[in-house]
Structure 1
C-alpha cells in the first residue's frame, strides 16, 4: 500500500485541472475535439514544519520520490458534526461536498497535527463508516469535533521537486506537488438552461469582469506603397473576457469544482450573462406582450438573433430577439415569446453570450475561507 504523505497544509492550496482539446477553426465556426476525457489533477501543498517535520519530509522524499503516495486532499477537508469516540466506527461528516470513496482511505488529523489513515467501508450522506475504529489515532477517549479534520485520500505521485524554505532552525515551509490518480466522476450542478445549454447564473459564483477584448480575425495587407487594407479571415466576431469565480463554504466550493469539471476545458459551451443592463426599457410590458421598447444601443440588424436575460421578480427569464425596428427615438424589439407576467419599466435586461473556456488549464486557489479561479472565456457561434 502506498505510504501516507502525512503533513497538514498550512496555506493556500493550488489545484490545477488540465484537459487537452484540439480547436479546429473555420471561416464560419469551429470544431472542438477532446483528446483527454478526464483532466489531470495537480495539487500543490505548503506545510509549515518544525525541525523534526522538515527532516521527516526530506527523508520521505529522498527514499520514495518516484513511488505512489497516499495524498490527503486537504482542500476538501471537512469537520465532523459530532464529537468522535475512540471506539466508534462512524464519523459524522457531510460526504456530499468532498471526494470520499468506499474502499479508499480517509485522513484524520487532530489539532492540526500529522494525519493518520482509516479505511472506509461504507458512505452515507451524513457520515463515513470505517472498517476499524480510530482507537489510538485519537488522543483521548472522546475528542471534540472542532479539533478534528477529516479529508478524503487519493493516490498520487510527486510531480515536482519537494522544496524546503527554512526560516529558522526550528521553523520552515515544505512545498510538495502531486499528480493525482483515479479521477472522480463528478456530476455537473443543476443550472438554468436555454436552447439546450446551461446558463451560468449560480449565486454561489461571484462574477467580476477583469479584462475584456472585442476582436475579429483579420489579415492586414500592406504592400508598402499604398494604404493598409484589413481583410477578414473569419465571419465571426469574438468577445473575450476573463471572469473571476469565488465560492465560500464546503458546498459552494464543491459546486464550483463540479461546474469547472463539466466544462471539460475548452470543450463545452454555456450561456454567460453580461450583467451590463444593455437594454433599458422605455415602457412597461404587459404579460402577453412580445414587444419591448428600449433605448437605442445598437444598429437594428445587430439585435436580431441575440439572446437576452430578464431579471424578473419570480426568476430569471431567457428570450431571443426576433426582430427590431425604429420607433421614434427608441427601438422596438420583438421577443421570441411573451413573459407570462408584466415587465416593469425598471427591470434589468442583459445580453446573453454563448461562450466556452479559452483554456485547457484551470487553476483553483483554495484558501482558508474561499476558493477562487480566474477563467478566460471566448464567444463562440451558436
Structure 2
C-alpha cells in the first residue's frame, strides 16, 4: 500500500491540467484531433512545517521518492455539514463538489493538522458512508464541523525534487509536486447554449480586464527592390484573448473545474462574449421586433452573419444578424428572431465570438477561499466548424 503524504497545505495549491491536441489548420478552418482523452493532473503543495515536520518529510521522500503516494487533495477539501463524533459511520457533506470514490480513501484533518485516512464504503449525494467508524481520526469525542476538512485521496508520483526552505531552524516550507494517477470523468458544466455550442457567461469575466490581439495570417513578400506585398495565408481572422476566471467557494470552484474539463485543452470550442458593448442602441426594441437601430461601427455588410448577445436583466439573449443597411446616421440591423421581451435603449449588446483554448496546459491557483485560472483563447471562425475528432478508448498519452 502506498505511503500517505499527510502534511497539510498551508499555502496556495497550484494545479496544472495537461491535454494533447493536434491542430491541423487549412486556409478556411481547422481540424482538432484529441490525443489525450483525460488530462494529466500535476499538483504542487507547499507545507509550512516545524523542525520535526521537515525532518519527517525529508525521510519520507528519501525512503519512497520513486514510488507511488496516497495524496490528500487539499484543493478539493470540504467541510462536513454537521459536527463529527467518534463512532460515526457517516460524514454529511455535498459529495458532488469533490472527487470522492467508492472503495478509495478520504482524509480528515482537524484544525489544519495532519491528515488521517478513512476508507469510503459508499458515496451518496449528501454523505460519505465509511467502512469503519471514526475513532483515532478525531482528537475528541465530538469535533465541530468548522474545525474539520474532508478531502479525497488519490495516488500520485513525485515529479520533481522535494524542496525544503528553512526560515529558521524550527520553521520552513516543504514544496512537493506530484502527478496524479487515474484522472476522473467530470460532467460538463451546464451553460447557456446557442446554435449547439455553450456560451461562457461567467460574471467574473466582466470584472477583470480582457486583453485582446487582432491579426490575420499573412506573408510579406519583399524582393528588396520594390514595394512590399502582403499575401493572406488564411481566410480566418484571428482574435486572441487572455481571460481570467475567479471562483469563490466550493460550488463555484467545482463549476469552474467542470468547465475547464469540458474544454479538453485546445479541443472544444465555445462562444465568448466580447463584453465590449460594441452595438449601442439608438432606439428601444419591442418584444416582437427583429429590427435593431445602432450607432455605426462598420460597413453594413460587415455585420451580416455576426452573432450577438443582448445583456438582458433576466437572462442573456443570443441572436444572429441576418441583414444590415444604412438608415440616416444610424445602421439598421435585422436579427434572426425577436428578443421576446422589450429591449430598453440602455441594454448592452456585445458580439459573440467562437473561441477555443490556445493551450493544452492550464494552470489553476487554489487559494484559501478562491480559485483563479487564466486561459489564453483564440478565435476559430464559427463554433460549428473545426470540431475535434474524439479520442479512442486508448488514445496515446
Match of 2:354 in 1: 354
1:183-231 per-position Cα deviation (integer Å, ceiling 9, x unaligned): 1110011110000000011346666234210000001111111111111
Aligned residue number for residue 331 of structure 2? 331
Structure-1-length-normalised TM-score = 0.98
Q: TM-score, normalised by structure 2?
A: 0.94
How far residue 314 of structure 1 moved from its aligned partner, in angstroms, is 3.0
Structure 1 counterpart SS, 2:55: helix
CA distance in 2, matches of 1:362, 1:89: 38
Corresponding residue for residue 375 of structure 1: 375
| More displaced stretch, 255-264 vs 222-231 | 222-231
Aligned to 1:73: 73
Q: Aligned to 2:136, what secondary structure does the other structure show?
A: helix
Q: Size of the alignment, in residue pairs?
A: 382
CA distance in 2, matches of 1:257, 1:188: 9
Matches of 1:262 and 1:281, distance apart in 2: 35
Q: Which residue does the alignment assign to 2:121?
A: 121
8 Å CA contact 1:72–1:153 kept in 2: the answer is: yes
Q: How far, CA to CA, are the matches of 1:258 and 1:4 in structure 2?
A: 27
Deviations 1:216-249 (A, max 9, x none): 0001111111111111100111100000100000
Matches within 5 A, 1:212-291: 212-291=212-291
User: Could you tell me how far 1:372 is from its partner in structure 2?
Assistant: 0.3
Q: Deviation of residue 146 (structure 1)? A: 1.6
Q: Which runs of 5+ in 2 are unaligned?
A: 383-397
Residue correspondence of structure 1 range 10-159 to structure 2 within 5 A? 10-159=10-159
Deviations 1:150-198 (A, max 9, x none): 1100011111110010111001100000100111110011110000000
Q: What displacement does 1:313 show?
A: 3.0
Residue 8 of structure 2 aligns with which residue? Answer: 8
Task: Report the 3-state secondary structure (helix = DSSP H, G, I; strand = E; otherwise coil) of the residue aligned with 1:209.
Answer: coil
Q: Which residue of 2 aligns with 1:209?
A: 209
SS in 1 for 2:209: strand
1:317 is aligned to 317
Q: Deviations over 1:19-45 (max 9, x none)?
A: 000101001000000010100000000
Secondary structure of the equivalent of 2:285? coil
Structure 1 CA distance for aligned equivalents of residues 16 and 65 of structure 2: 21
Mark the runs of 5 or more structure 1 residues left unpaired by the alignment: none
Over the residues paired in the alignment, what is the CA RMSD in angstroms? 1.1
| Relative contact order, higher structure (CA 8 A, sep 6+) | 2
Query: Is the Cα contact below 8 Å between 1:205 and 1:256 reproduced in 2?
Result: no
Tell me, yes or no, if the aligned pair for 2:46 and 2:174 is still in contact at 8 Å. yes
| Stretches (4+) displaced over 3 A | 202-207
1:210 to 1:311, Cα distance in 2 relative to 1, 3 A: closer
Question: CA contact under 8 A between 1:191 and 1:202: conserved in structure 2?
Answer: no
Tell me by how many angstroms 1:101 deviates.
0.7
SS in 2 for 1:351: strand
Describe how 1:297-308 pairs up with structure 2 within 5 A: 297-308=297-308
Contact 2:82 2:92 in 1 (8 A): yes
